[in-house]
Structure 1
Amino acid sequence: MLSVHKEGKGSFIEQKSEFIGEAAPVSSEEEAMAFVNKIRELHPKATHHCYAYILGESQNIQRFSDDGEPGGTAGIPMLEVLKKQNLTNVCVVATRYFGGVLLGAGGLVRAYTRSAIVGIEKAIVVEKEIASLYRLAVPYESLGTVDYRLIQEKRKESGRSYGEKVEIDLWIPQRDEEGFIRSMQELFNGQAELNVMDQQWVSLFHGEILL
């Protein structure tokens, strides 16, 4: 599924009004509203804080608010941006500091659409996938060979420790697990010491895990 990797923020001026678009990854309605409230607290003097969010792998939870703007000119356009980009588990908030010039319905729709887009761009659109954290125990004499293989395969290392053996922690997406295990067993003649330490959703950008 597609989501965003981190919180992102962009802004622009439209007819003397400042619009600030912010997006964040969220996993529940509570998290979404906590993000909205955080933005409200950061901008207590702003005129409006409009928002939209979509949750669930099937995008079954969709909410929005115009926060005092004319109906249909803010929250729905922002929600449409999320839907068109096929995003889920994302909340976008558009903060407006009114500059004294009325934009009209069409102008508001364009401004709030742009607010959602700039926030999402800064938050980095990624693919979300379940990944497992593998711990690979490597004898010191084999470390150079293993490191070369891991670099070749572009594996994402999250840390290593040194004891009787070198223990390397690697995040492996579900789609790559079979190939990774096969590669390591081939390298160690079927005797690779591999243990799964954790499993969680991770962000993939152009196929590479972002930590």
Structure 2
Amino acid sequence: MPPAEDSRATRYTTLAPGPDFRHELEIKRSRFITVLRRVEDEAAARALIAELRREFHDARHHCSAFILGPDRTTQRSSDDGEPSGTAGIPMLEALNRRETANGVADLSDVCAVVVRYFGGILLGAGGLVRAYSDSVSQAADRAPWVTRQRLRLAEVPVGFAEVGKLENDVRSAGLHVVGTEYGAGHATLKVAFEDDAESLDRVRRTVLSLSAGTCEARPGGTEWVDLTPRA
């Protein structure tokens, strides 16, 4: 399920596409294995939790926290058998307060699961809070993130024989191509840009110039797009 179009937010930070990110921490012989996954809805988040229960079936706890949506309105956490408030909430707080490169705390569409193997030494309530918080914070510090932004789209109908060259030329001109659709008789190149008149004019002028006047960029709605990865 894609982000809601009526969201007040126009951008947020989420995990870069790819495999789950994993990070392990050992504290007083207990192993804390943190897994981060990009998710679009609660079903996907709960699917990750179920997968890790099967993979680490002999672990004592599979604690979790996730944040969903551009406005971060859906937030859930679970202590999974740890003392109340010592695992899920600290994990959720670690996700909520993690600032990105522009100094804003805006992580979303991410699920964190911390698998704990008990090492035989009790950590106490304060120790558990620190352990689960640090596990997620350290994983978040090392994971690859991207900015996800809602952009305006332009659609460019183009012949099959010309679409490859035009796409390369448009990318070389610094425009953001989000994909190409193939239909009956022609392809449609999709170009994303900032939602303002100046950006739309630039896209139109660039497409006309690169196609020698044979192709025209037409308004095509909006789409959430992954931008350049950030630290």
State whether TM-score is above 0.5.
yes
Q: Please state which structure has a larger fraction of its residues in strand.
A: 1
Partner of 2:127: 107
How far, CA to CA, are the matches of 2:221 and 2:142 in structure 1?
29
Partner of 2:35: 22
1:87-112 deviation per Cα after TM superposition (whole angstroms, max 9, x unaligned): 12211100001111112222212211
The answer to whether 1:205 aligns with 2:228 is yes
TM-fit CA distance, 1:130: 4.1
How far, CA to CA, are the matches of 2:115 and 2:191 in structure 1?
37
AA in 2 matched with 1:68 = G
Backbone CA RMSD of aligned residues: 3.5
How far, CA to CA, are the matches of 1:142 and 1:105 in structure 2?
61
Partner of 1:182: 205
Contact 2:175 2:193 (8 Å CA) reproduced: no
Contact 2:67 2:73 (8 Å CA) reproduced: yes
Structure 2 counterparts to residues 25-174 of structure 1, below 5 A? 25-85=38-98, 86-121=106-141, 123-130=143-150, 132=153, 137=158, 147=168, 150-153=171-174, 155-156=176-177, 172-173=192-193
Contact 1:21 1:117 (8 Å CA) reproduced: no
TM-fit CA distance, 1:142: 11
Provide closer, same or farther for how the CA distance between residues 141 and 105 of structure 1 changes in structure 2, counting only shifts above 3 A: closer
Secondary structure in structure 1 of the residue aligned to 2:62: strand
Partner of 2:14: 3
AA in 2 matched with 1:150 = R
Provide closer, same or farther for how the CA distance between residues 195 and 45 of structure 1 changes in structure 2, counting only shifts above 3 A: farther
1:143-184 deviation per Cα after TM superposition (whole angstroms, max 9, x unaligned): 8797455324164576799xx99x695663555972333311
Partner of 2:3: none
- Runs of 4+ residues over 6 Å off in structure 1: 138-146, 195-199
Q: Percent identity?
A: 32
Secondary structure in structure 2 of the residue aligned to 1:101: coil
Provide closer, same or farther for how the CA distance between residues 44 and 189 of structure 1 changes in structure 2, counting only shifts above 3 A: same
Secondary structure in structure 2 of the residue aligned to 1:46: coil
How far, CA to CA, are the matches of 2:47 and 2:164 in structure 1?
46
TM-fit CA distance, 1:17: 0.9
